[in-house]
Amino acid sequence: MFAELKGDEMTDILSINVVGLVLCSNLAVKSMLERNIVGHVINVSSMLGHNVVGILNFYAATKHAVTAISKGLRMEIAAKGSRIKVTQISSERVETNFHPNLFHDAEAGRKHSKAQILHLNSY
């Protein structure tokens, strides 16, 4: 829940999902452009980069940032005439301890389908 997030947790989420991605993509693109090679930047995101779930709104915001960065980078590189490709992979829910912990019950977390989780967005 947003109100329960601590400052250091927000910083960690932003650092991993946005800053880390930007730093890696930046170095990769610079290297590819300097060497004039055909390359491919692959940014890993989430379906939450295209939707928002109320209880995951801060996390979703960082994944929306990944979407904006990927689209913007793709346009910037294309405008330079480079053949570097930029792809964003937006996965659905991945089986980790995150979802069971989100629902405070491992079995309940496993039972929630994508549709059920996204349904929370309507509240």
pLDDT along the chain (123 residues), means of 10: 84 93 97 94 87 80 92 95 92 62 51 44 30
Distance separating alpha carbons of residues 2 and 24, to the nearest angstrom: 28
* pLDDT score at 119: 37
Catalytic residues: 59
In CATH, what number does 2-91 get? 3.40.50.720
* pLDDT score at 39: 95
Chain segment 86-99, per-residue pLDDT in tens: 999 887 766 666 55
Question: pTM of the predicted model, to two decimals?
Answer: 0.72
Q: 103 is written with which tokens?
A: 């629902």
Domain-wise residue ranges, the chain: 2-91, 94-123
